[in-house]
């Protein structure tokens, strides 16, 4: 009874934490400026919303030299409020201060993407600490590499479902050598589908992919429980096979995030490569921290495998099962 109670408490706490970090008030807003003619830009402003009537109190403010060419068109689509309009600024956007009104009061940020006619893309983050961004000259190769590498690292570190899958893999495979091969198989697999999807070689709807990613965590968690009961399954016998199979799904999830940002037409190979490198660096950092933590637990604490394997498996599986149901129901919303 005590063990079951502990599992329930851990699962509830973990779910509460994830729901908090996934709440609408910290989902990033998205501002895109697409050059449609010299000195003219199409504006897309996307703000997280609740239902079809409420959205975060965020607004875009340009300087007095910027002229509005069309009345903003509003719509609520996919949990967000969208506005589209056109602007004109003599001399282009270089030097333009873009202020996000209300951002300093909200625990969120804005992803700013500028698409130029020649295919160059500039991507920046606008944060509550600095709600005004001044546009600089279009980026070169170095800036593209730095931007997409940073995006890759950030995406994996806030991708809680991806990190949770890596965690249950590490619990499933206690042998360090076998773990290295397992993580390598996962990395190779998701790198393949990330690249293919980002280059539009394959296209898969995002909602089913996200539901299957959650289901992959449920599967590996259940395999850990089976193993503890003395009935090891395919995941423990061939972890590299399971990791590579589900890695293909996780790569599609990474590609969906990259698709929202877009790739610069002039530097596609570099942007894709360094986004992928950023994802891998972030993942390796997470694995290194977990290995250090597991090592400290084994060295200084005398705890049973029920605590080190059973509780995390039940908690991760319970949370992932909730995600699976939630994401499946979202198909029809």
Q: Is residue 116 part of a domain?
A: yes
Q: Among residues of the chain, what percentage have pLDDT more than 90?
A: 34
Q: Is residue 3 part of a domain?
A: no
Q: Is residue 11 part of a domain?
A: no
Domain of residue 287 covers 152-332
Q: What is the mean pLDDT of the chain?
A: 83
Q: Is residue 4 part of a domain?
A: no
Residue 45, beta-bridge partner list: 31, 83
Nearest to 45 by CA among 63, 55, 33: 33
Cβ 198 vs Cβ 258: under 8 Å: yes
Q: Is residue 23 part of a domain?
A: no
180 with 262, same domain: the answer is: yes
Q: Is residue 218 part of a domain?
A: yes
In this predicted structure, the answer to whether residue 303 has a pLDDT above a threshold of 70 is: no
- pLDDT 10s digits, 199-224: 889 888 888 899 999 999 999 999 98
For the chain, how many structural domains are there in total?
2
Q: Give first-to-last CA distance, the chain, whole Å.
A: 38
In this predicted structure, the answer to whether residue 274 has a pLDDT above a threshold of 70 is: yes
Q: Is residue 15 part of a domain?
A: no
**Averaged over 281-289, what is the pLDDT?**
90
In this predicted structure, the answer to whether residue 80 has a pLDDT above a threshold of 80 is: yes
In this predicted structure, the answer to whether residue 23 has a pLDDT above a threshold of 70 is: no
In this predicted structure, the answer to whether residue 25 has a pLDDT above a threshold of 60 is: no
189 with 323, same domain: the answer is: yes
178 with 252, same domain: the answer is: yes
> In the listed set 86, 108, 138, which residue is the last one of a domain according to the structure?
138
CA dihedral 222, 14, 159, 100 (to 10 degrees): 160
Query: pLDDT-derived band of residue 32, with 50, 70 and 90 as boundaries?
Result: very high
In this predicted structure, the answer to whether residue 89 has a pLDDT above a threshold of 60 is: yes
> In the listed set 138, 164, 197, which residue is the last one of a domain according to the structure?
138
Q: Point out the least confidently predicted range of 5-9, 71-75, 235-239, 291-295.
A: 5-9
> In the listed set 109, 138, 167, which residue is the last one of a domain according to the structure?
138
181 with 305, same domain: the answer is: yes
- pLDDT 10s digits, 43-71: 999 988 876 677 888 999 999 999 999 98
87 with 161, same domain: the answer is: no
251 with 310, same domain: the answer is: yes
109 with 254, same domain: the answer is: no
Query: What pLDDT, on a 0 to 100 scale, did the predictor assign at position 307?
Result: 63
């Amino acid at each position: 009874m005590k063990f079951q109670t502990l599992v329930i408490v851990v699962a509830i706490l973990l779910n509460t934490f994830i729901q908090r970090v996934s709440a609408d008030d910290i989902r990033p807003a998205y501002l895109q400026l697409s050059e449609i003619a010299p000195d003219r830009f199409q504006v897309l402003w996307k703000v997280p919303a609740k239902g079809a009537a409420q959205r975060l109190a965020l607004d875009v403010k340009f300087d007095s030299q910027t002229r509005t060419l069309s009345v903003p068109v509003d719509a609520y689509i996919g949990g967000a409020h969208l506005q589209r309009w056109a602007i004109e600024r003599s001399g282009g956007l270089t030097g333009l201060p873009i202020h996000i009104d209300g951002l300093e009061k909200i625990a969120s940020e804005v992803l700013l993407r500028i698409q130029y006619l020649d295919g160059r893309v500039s991507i920046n983050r606008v944060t509550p600490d600095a709600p005004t961004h001044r546009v600089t000259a279009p980026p070169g190769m170095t800036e593209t590499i730095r931007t997409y590498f940073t995006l890759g690292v950030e995406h994996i570190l806030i991708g809680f479902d991806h990190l949770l899958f890596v965690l249950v893999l590490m619990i499933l495979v206690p042998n360090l050598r076998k773990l290295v091969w397992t993580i390598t198989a996962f990395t190779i697999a998701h790198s393949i589908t990330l690249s293919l999807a980002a280059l539009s070689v394959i296209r898969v709807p995002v909602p089913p992919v996200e539901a299957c990613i959650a289901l992959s965590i449920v599967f590996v968690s259940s395999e850990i429980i089976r193993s503890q009961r003395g009935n090891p399954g395919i995941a423990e016998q061939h972890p590299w096979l399971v990791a590579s199979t589900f890695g293909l799904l996780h790569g599609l999830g990474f590609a969906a995030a990259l698709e929202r940002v877009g790739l610069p037409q002039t530097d596609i190979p570099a942007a894709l490569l360094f986004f992928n490198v950023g994802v891998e660096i972030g993942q390796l950092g997470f694995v290194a921290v977990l290995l250090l933590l597991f090592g400290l637990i084994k060295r200084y604490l005398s705890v049973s495998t029920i605590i080190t394997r059973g509780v995390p498996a039940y908690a991760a599986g319970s949370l992932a099962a909730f995600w699976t149901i939630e994401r499946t129901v979202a198909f029809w919303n």
